[in-house]
Amino acid sequence: MPCGAPSLTKAPSVRLHRSLPGISRYRFELRCDTVVLEPIALRTERSRSNGSTSRTEDRIRARRAGTVMFVNVAVLKETQPHERRVALVPAVVARLVKLGARLHMQCGAGEAVALPDQAFQDVAFTANRRELLRDADVVLAIGPPALGAIDEMKAGAILISFIYEHNEPALVERLLERKITCFAMERVPRISRAQSMDALSSQSALTGYYGVQLGATHLNRVLPKITTAAGTIGPAKVLVMGLGVAGLEAIATAHRLGAVVEGYDVRPETAEQAASLGATFVDTGVDARGKGGYARELTADERLKVAAALTKHIAAADLIVTTAAIPGKASPKLISSGQAAGMKAGAVIVDLSAEGGGNCDDTVPGQTVRVGRITIVAPLNVPSLLGADASNLYAHNAFNLLALMLKDNIVTIDWSDEVLAKTMLTHAGAMHDDAANHKSAQTAVKVA
């Protein structure tokens, strides 16, 4: 319901006082128009067997019966500078409602991606952030929320968002203090079963695509071979460095646009992946496979060996897209100032690792700079620049994660589920590793 419209009719309030894990006895306390169960509110709807009845009719009937329960899911307007994405899109609303969620959003949360409040059916809107947070059992967000937002959440509530704990020590401290169960989207394990929840991948794929588009607009030449009566223009040479999700998408995009593409990574398995997308792999002879499919840092000797092998490929490229990253570390430097000075006049580097400091010595994160004869473009928060698609994919990722816990109008966290256990950042006042002990005693915890 858009802001300014009358608020939704709410069920009478029911307050649950938990006795023991497993909860066998309940004491209900009626309050005006709010339902809060500790540590998390659970709301069950008495009967929705007749699928033809409207939600309003259901609510009225349930209100009379006094037994309607839902899980309150709140979505805030993002507060980070330049963040345009929103964690909920209309396509996901009906699916969440079906699982028993009652949805609330902050007015204007989707405006930056052309989703006005009116586009969301079955969602209650309010301008009051405090109210949203106070009543929420689950808060969905994209970027790490402000400290004040965590203070407003009730103890035991669930937060699902990107956190990046190393950048947010104060926030993590507050999550622990407030006993928030936080699922950090960057922690979703990279396993087949979790692919539909893997927001790192969905956002990185968009980043890789956009990196090539951005580079193309800064080049003073075209990417494909073009033949005219006046003559033929040869295809541009594109070098992609770092072949994770973003790098492979960049290769695919540059190849589709007709460029001649090369790819380089320190994980040898990427050679076959690059080839399958139409790129030639630059083999530097260095194998720096790390743990869990990620790369490790190179030694000083390895860096010299790589630099020697790459210099001529860097010099030949019209466009370079860099995406190299090592989890928890600053971005590795792949292009020195000397190598950049040896590039063709008019060449462009798009550094997609600016968030971690960048892959080039001359990168200025968040800026586009002319360095000698070349241009280095280093955008921050690239998925936000494609906010509509990025929000859509993220909202589906978050829904798929929440769907593991939200069934029949109840949130149940099964800690024996690898995806939930590994994605959890904080729970019951403990950090992931410490919380693991707590969890092992309770394989299926009903958070209610």
CB 253 to ligand NAD: min, Å: 15
49 is catalytic: no
> 35, 40, 241, 378: which one contacts ligand NAD (CB under 6 A)?
241
Write down the catalytic residue from 135, 137, 198, 318: 198
Sign of the dihedral defined by the CA atoms of residues 424, 430, 434, 438, in that order: negative
> 16, 140, 245, 271: which one contacts ligand NAD (CB under 6 A)?
245
String of DSSP letters for 247-265? HHHHHHHHHHTT-EEEEE-
Neighbours of 437 (CB within 10 A): 9
Residue 322's identity, in one-letter code, is T
String of DSSP letters for 21-67? TT---------SS--EESSS-----S----TTS-HHHHHHHHHHHT-
Q: Which stretch binds ligand NAD (CB under 6 A): 10-18, 244-252, 254-262, 312-320?
A: 244-252
Specify the residue, 54 or 192, whose C-beta has the smaller distance to ligand NAD: 192
**What residues between 313 and 372 interact with ligand NAD by CB under 6 A?**
323-327, 332, 334
CB 47 to ligand NAD: min, Å: 39
**What residues between 266 and 295 interact with ligand NAD by CB under 6 A?**
266-267, 293-295
CB 368 to ligand NAD: min, Å: 22
Sign of the dihedral defined by the CA atoms of residues 161, 162, 168, 172, in that order: positive
Q: What is the dihedral of CA 77, 155, 134, 66, to 10 degrees?
A: 130
CB 417 to ligand NAD: min, Å: 16
Write down the catalytic residue from 15, 61, 95, 190: 190
**What residues between 136 and 175 interact with ligand NAD by CB under 6 A?**
none
198 is catalytic: yes
Binding mask 178-217 for ligand NAD (x = CB under 6 A): ------------xxx--x--x-xx--x-------------
How is residue 426 written in tokens? 């904080």
> 135, 152, 249, 265: which one contacts ligand NAD (CB under 6 A)?
265
Specify the residue, 168 or 249, whose C-beta has the smaller distance to ligand NAD: 249
CB 248 to ligand NAD: min, Å: 8
Task: Name the residue among 385, 376, 262 with its Cα closest to residue 313.
Answer: 262
Cα angle 152, 155, 161 (rounded to 5 degrees) comes to 70
Cβ–Cβ under 8 Å, residues 399 and 138: no
Distance CA 238, CA 236 (A): 6
294 is catalytic: yes
Integer CA distances (angstroms), 70 to 21, 216, 409, in order: 20, 49, 6
CB 199 to ligand NAD: min, Å: 11
* Residues in touch with ligand NAD (CB under 6 A): 190-192, 195, 198, 200-201, 204, 241-247, 265-267, 293-295, 298, 323-327, 332, 334
Active site residues: 190, 195, 198, 201, 294
